[in-house]
Amino acid sequence: YGLWLDYSPVENPQLKTQIDPLFSGFFFFGESPTYDVIRKELDIAGQKMLGKTPIYSKERLAQSKVWLGTREQLSQVLGLQQQVDIRDLGEDGFWMGPIDFQGKTYFTIVGNRPIGVLYGVFDWLKTIQTGAFDPRLQKSDSPKVRLRMLNHWDNLDRTVERGYAGFSIWDWHKLPGYIDPRYIDYARANASIGINAVSLTNVNANARILTTDFMKKAKVLADIFRPYGIKVFLTARFSAPIEIGGLKTADPLDPEVIAFWKNKTDEMYSFIPDFGGYLVKANSEGQPGPHEYQRNHAEGANVLADALAPHDGILIWRAFVYSHELDEDRHKHANLEFEPLDGKFRENVIIQVKNGAIDFMPREPFHPLFGAVKSTNLGIEFQITQEYLGQATQLVFLAPMWEEVLRSRTYRPTSASTVAGIIDGSDSGQKLTLMAGVSNIGTDRNWTGHLFGQANWYAFGRQAWDHSLTSAQIADEWIKMTFGQKPEVLSKINEILLGSHEAAVNYMMPLGLHHIMGWDHHYGPGPWVTGGRPDWTALYYHQADSMGIGFDRTASGSDALGQYAPELVNAYADPNQIPEKYLLWFHHLPWDFEMKSGKTLWEEIGLHYDQGVKTARKMKESWSSLESEIDPERFDHVRQLLAVQVSEAEWWRNSCLLYFQTFAKRPFPEEIEQPE
Ligand code: GCU
């Protein structure tokens, strides 16, 4: 279970002839702890791909084959400014390609910093793993987003909030004395896809993580991750001044509270000099926050930001706020609170916004905060753990969903702006940029519970690095690195991956339906659920009645739509113009509303649910046909889970359709399998 870093043996003889000599002569133009981990990676890769221990030339430059170093290191020795100019590639970028020197050619990987060299090495190894290596190829690459971050929702007792892959990999009990080898594999995997920041603990935070004992434990992890370019963040509980500081208040304007955060933060940096900063969930779902003291989110965030600023730390403050007592439509809450605070947050604050306004639904339109503020750094939060998408039981490839969100046009600040352009700064102008993903990693042998959960971890890193990559490109890389390059394996798994998200949307919540899952566990269907709070009933979201179905968020309803740019308001206010995938998200419509297909809304709902089941069945059949191509262990693991997925897709379809039929009182379309 080496993830995508299994490095299977190179079988192609031509590739082998090209690669083999390279592993006999690596030359590093300097020293760095990051170069030590590069050597370790090359040792693993050399052994596994070629059965060969790499040779590192120290003195004999002329006998080497592969050169590695920073631009500065190389140019000091060789004066190479002419051939390699990577200044524009920023702190993390790299260049690789052949360099001619004194009549010989050397394959060279160069970065502005050692970490760029590591990223380049992983990219080079990937070209070997995917059969794309070309010794004449020149390539440069750099990330579009500065912080590419995993958010673990891991508790100190090792349970994981919405974790479906076992327990937390952080063994706080044995830290700081014992280093689990998994920490290193975890760092390798993250670095290989460009992830450079991790928040170790649950956003529903425990203040104990900020005590001296836990700082010592976190320091060990930070030391392990540092050569891999990964910075540690921790979640800060807003009431920590009371809980671990012995104060009577956590009021952010209280001088003692200000001093508490300053001292705590200084102490943290004495253990972890490059500590990333804090991630905070405040005044959300019962978490403490500034509202208890009649202070707003900016006042709350700024006290922590000020404590971090002298150390160049970053404060990430979440915008996942809603109030079940007040909200007529929870969709609107974040904009109502955060838009008036635009410009009031310190420069080192990033507001972390979920991709949609409700909560990681199978499909959501992008969050209306993107494009709504001018002077606030916004980061995006995706959820890799599939809380509402079959958890670790179902195969749902999330890259197409993230791609859809990132490419959505916001029409603000300019008519060409997209969500991606807001968060990478190209449209918004912000310098501090962030893409975060809620981790799906745990102690399970395969790391992610479902083998294909690995594809989502991989895809998140790749999209955070470069959101212009397509889901198909990412799928192709992951499949080759995980299952090899046989064309049949490649094309079938590719089709399975790329169709899986739409399938899940169809059999769970098609046409803009949302939040109709079972209460609390969030797993199976539950459109009939009447839960403990007004906004926790599924009825609040689907609003089915004898007349029709859907949530009216246009001006005649909650007007959440009015929080988007006028271009979107105009297009989406009209049920005949809005993309049908968002129809019931914004409209309450009669069961007989005529769809683009000419069929009624009721019929289309039935057809979508049925299509979801059919695709799930096809995924299962397609996988079964690969039995002879895939090792029995992984084959059987996925085969069993796909069988469960098909029966659960049927469960979703049958129960949702039968339930909605009690309002619609119409027969199911003839062409679908009749639910029972
Ligand atoms: C969801 C999830 C919670 C989580 C919350 C959050 O509501 O169910 O477990 O704490 O999101 O993102 O803060």
On the question of pLDDT at 606 being above 80, the answer is: yes
Q: What rounded mean pLDDT belongs to the chain? A: 96
Q: What is the pLDDT of residues 447-488, one digit of tens each?
A: 999 999 999 999 999 999 999 999 999 999 999 999 999 999
**Mean pLDDT of the region 223-235:** 98
342 included as an active-site residue: no
359 included as an active-site residue: yes
- Ligand 1 and 515: CB distance under 6 A: no
Index of the ligand 1 atom closest to the CA of residue 383: 12
On the question of pLDDT at 85 being above 90, the answer is: no
Q: What is the pLDDT of residues 87-106, one digit of tens each?
A: 788 999 999 999 988 889 99
Q: What is the pLDDT of residues 335-368, one digit of tens each?
A: 999 999 999 999 999 999 999 999 999 999 999 9
- pLDDT at site 83: 60
User: Nearest C-alpha to atom 7 of ligand 1 is from which residue?
Assistant: 359
Instruction: Quote the CA–CA distance of 71 and 123 in Å, as a whole number.
Output: 18
- Ligand 1 and 281: CB distance under 6 A: yes
User: Nearest C-alpha to atom 8 of ligand 1 is from which residue?
Assistant: 162
Rounded to the nearest angstrom, the distance between the alpha carbon of 58 and the centre of ligand 1 is 52
CA distances from 27 to 57, 73, 109, 348, 448 (A): 5, 12, 10, 39, 36
Rounded to the nearest angstrom, the distance between the alpha carbon of 309 and the centre of ligand 1 is 28
Q: Count Cβ atoms within 10 A of the Cβ of residue 546 and give its class: 0-12 exposed, 13-18 middle, 19 or more buried.
A: exposed
285 included as an active-site residue: yes
290's tokens: 């500034």
Residue with token string 């998140």: 460
- Ligand 1 and 519: CB distance under 6 A: no
Index of the ligand 1 atom closest to the CA of residue 438: 12
- Ligand 1 and 162: CB distance under 6 A: yes
In the beta sheet, which residues pair with residue 178? none
Name the residue of 151, 152, 153 whose CB sits within 8 Å of the most ligand 1 atoms, as the mutation to test its pocket.
Answer: 153
Q: Which residues contact 260 (CB under 8 A, 6 or more apart)?
A: 240, 241, 245, 247
Q: What is the pLDDT of residues 105-157, one digit of tens each?
A: 999 999 999 999 999 999 999 999 999 999 898 999 999 999 999 999 999 99
Rounded to the nearest angstrom, the distance between the alpha carbon of 254 and the centre of ligand 1 is 29
Residue with token string 């253990």: 271
Rounded to the nearest angstrom, the distance between the alpha carbon of 153 and the centre of ligand 1 is 9
| ipTM of the complex as predicted | 0.99
Index of the ligand 1 atom closest to the CA of residue 202: 10
On the question of pLDDT at 543 being above 70, the answer is: yes
Q: Which of 359, 466, 580, 629 is catalytic?
A: 359
* Domains parsed from the chain with CATH numbers: 3-141 (3.30.379.10), 147-483 (3.20.20.80), 505-551+588-664 (3.90.1330.10)
Q: Which of 337, 387, 444, 603 is catalytic?
A: 387
Q: What is the pTM of this model?
A: 0.98
- pLDDT at site 673: 96
Instruction: Quote the CA–CA distance of 351 and 321 in Å, as a whole number.
Output: 12
